[in-house]
Amino acid sequence: MIQVSDLVVSYPGAKRNAVNRVSFIAEAGRLTALAGPNGSGKSSVVRALIRRVEIIGGAITVGGIDVRALTHGELARRVAVVPQREDAAFPLQVREYVALGRYPHLGLWRAPSSLDAQAIDTALSQAGVSSLADRDTDALSGGEWQRVRIARALAQRAPVLVLDEPTTFLDVAHEMAIFELLASLARSGLAVLLVSHQLNLVARFADTIVLLNEGLIAISGTPAEVMKADRLESIYGWPVVITRDPAVGAPALVPLRRPVSL
């Protein structure tokens, strides 16, 4: 479980705090979504969690322990992250790549055990990429690459899984497949924290939505509580209506046309 309390993150030279007194909980067994417009502070929360940026105020705890009290290795055994950006400089074989998820568990001699091999196999199969194990990472499609990255995080066997925009650049089917995978991982007991600006998908899959705007929490709650036309309109600065998706009845956002006169 991740608990974020009154978190403040600030970048040097910025006019306002990137994250300003944000509090929420991502519980085990649930899919929690961190949503909001571009620049709303979503990724900064993730960076603070993995201590890429300094926590100016407040705290992030994982399983009750402040992340600042953990070593990098201890943190990596508790939280697995799929960062937004990752441009591998050189290709690796998929299996070698997924095996890197075991790094936080390796002992002094860095020798992988049979437990590591088993964790790698399980992760490959959970993410549905066992058949790609012998391919090189630079020979994968966008959808395959995202699943392989998730497999790498699953190999970490951490109770918390954090993903930063895992479906950017993916088509409808691959996007849905990733969301289904995340929902089933949450059902299997993981605390899944998903950063995404795909509000409609988030509304269908997430148990809780935390909607950030300009570093502050704008609304948080169940999809039904968050998907309110008037609030979303003011947050995104664009006219919208809320309808129901015809298949499952989840709230869905439809942005309206607002033609530009040249």
Partner 1 sequence: MSRFPQGGWLVLVAAFLCVAVIAVAHGAVSIPIGAVLDALRGIGDPTAIAIVRDLRLPRVLLGALVGAGLGSSGAALQGSLRNPLAEPYLLGVSGGAAVGAVIVFALGIKNDALVMLAAFVGSMAAVVLALTVSRVGGRGAKGDLRTLLLAGVIVGAFANATIMVALASADPNTVRGALFWMMGSATDATWRSAAWLAASVAVAGGALVYWAREIDILALGEETAASLGIDAERSGQRIFLIAALLAAATVAAAGLIGFVGLVVPHIARRVGLRAHRPLIVASALIGATLVVAADLAARTVAPPIELPLGAITALLGVPFFLAQLKRAA
Residues in the site for partner 1, rule: CB under 8 A? 12, 47, 50-53, 71-77, 79-93, 96, 100-101, 103-104, 106, 110, 134, 136, 139, 153, 156
**Cβ-based nearer residue to partner 1, 93 or 125:** 93
Residue closer to partner 1, measured from CB, 6 or 54: 54
Q: Smallest gap, in angstroms, from Cβ of residue 244 to partner 1? A: 37
Q: Which residues pair with 61 in a beta bridge?
A: 3, 66
Q: How far is the CB of 96 from partner 1 (least distance, A)?
A: 5
Asked if residue 200 lies in contact with residue 247, where contact means CB atoms within 8 angstroms, the answer is: no
Residue 203 CB, nearest approach to partner 1 (Å): 27
From residue 135, alpha-carbon distances to 17, 87, 129, 145, 227 in Å are 43, 17, 10, 11, 42
> Smallest distance, Å, CB 125 to partner 1?
21
Q: CA-CA distance, 145 to 85, in Å (whole number)? A: 12
Q: With respect to partner 1, which residue has the nearer C-beta, 162 or 226?
A: 162
CA distance 252 to 262: 31
Cβ proximity to partner 1: between 142 and 239 the closer is 142
Classify residue 135 by its DSSP letter. S
Q: How far is it, in rounded angstroms, from Cα 151 to Cα 28?
A: 19
* Cβ–Cβ under 8 Å, residues 155 and 112: no
The identity of residue 75, as a single letter, is: L
Q: How distant is the alpha carbon of residue 206 from its chain centre?
A: 12
Rank residues 96 and 180 by Cβ distance to partner 1 and give the closer one: 96
CB of 19 to partner 1, least distance (A): 16
Among residues 100 and 117, whose Cβ is nearest to partner 1? 100
Name the nearest CA neighbour of 159 among 178, 179, 185: 185
Closest CB 166 distance from partner 1, rounded Å: 13
